[in-house]
Structure 1
């Protein structure tokens, strides 16, 4: 009788042990930085058509300051200058922080171009950064809209890497000219020919 009672107790213990629930912690929700990106674009577009910033990197620095420094801390930039180019220093800083990328751009991020200035064109390379802008819109056809300081004002530009050799497609601007070219060489002066990288916000 005692043996039967003991077996019964062991059986109940084993069954109760098998039905115990193991607590599984859910992964933390992914951080949604959409509001931050929207705020950067909103700030940048305030200066559309205006002269604020003085040049391309000055404009980015202005938006950076007004948006609580999503790109860089001003004092930390000094260590990344190679010459007088602030656009190159910003690129170098982001490169050191592994924040450069080349696919699937997001609004609010930076866009870098190389070899757009004849003064520095002798060094022609993908990281010979001479121009910079802020991405404001990405369309489903891969046309990227960006605001940049050019011709003395903060103007809108476009780039479409899927169609690098044409300025318009179906009467829609898809690639901005970043330099003047002859008609025969015009495709060599469109934004895709100078594209270097995108730069993530922090």
Structure 2
């Protein structure tokens, strides 16, 4: 990736917009706040959050892993991607960094807990692995929202 951003999902999202002069991270960091939460906080402050995705939007997820390693689902926003495509049936394809690489995954807006449709087509990819006490979770189940990235995100050098 790049040495100037985190080597994670928030770093990939930042790189996607950097060449256009857009900065995703909040100007006032909060100690201990993760990159995803910082970006979401900025999106909220800018009025950029919404629930109808378009290509180029950010997509946020919650509880994709145990960030604070306490064994409970209390980690809030933990993952981010960039929407690549939205199909008429509600399938959203997004690009994100996970498992050490850049991946393309899917989530479905109206069938969030269905892995495949009747024809076997993937509607939702897994974003959280199975655990001793819980089944794996699909992208649609962990969806927290979308944000438009536009000129509001511009930060002068």
Other-structure match for 2:139: 191
Residue 178 (structure 1) aligns with = 127
1:65 & 1:196 partners in 2: Cα distance?
23
Per the TM alignment, residue 185 of structure 1 is displaced from its structure 2 partner at its CA by 5.4
Q: Is the 8 A contact 1:134 1:146 kept in 2?
A: yes
Equivalences, count: 143
Matched, 1:124 2:90: no
Match of residue 155 from structure 2: none
Which sections of structure 2, spanning at least 5 residues, go unmatched? 151-157
Match of 1:166 among 93, 101, 114: 114
Q: Secondary structure at the match of 1:162?
A: coil
Question: Of 90, 110, 123, which residue of structure 2 is paired with 1:142?
Answer: 90
Give the equivalent residue in structure 2 for 1:29.
Answer: none
RMSD of equivalent CA atoms: 2.3
- TM-score normalised to structure 2 length: 0.80
Give the structure, 1 or 2, with the largest relative contact order (CA under 8 Å, sep 6 or more).
Answer: 2
Q: Which runs of 5+ in 1 are unaligned?
A: 1-50
Q: Which residue of 2 aligns with 1:47?
A: none
Distance in structure 2 (CA, Å) of the matches to 1:163 and 1:181: 20
Alignment of 1:35-114 (within 5 A): 54-69=7-22, 72=23, 77-102=26-51, 104-114=52-62
Structure 1 length-normalised TM? 0.63
Give the one of 152, 165, 170 matched to 2:100.
152
Q: Which has the higher strand share?
A: 2
**The structure with more helix, counted as a fraction of residues:** 1
**Offset of 1:117 from its aligned partner?**
1.9
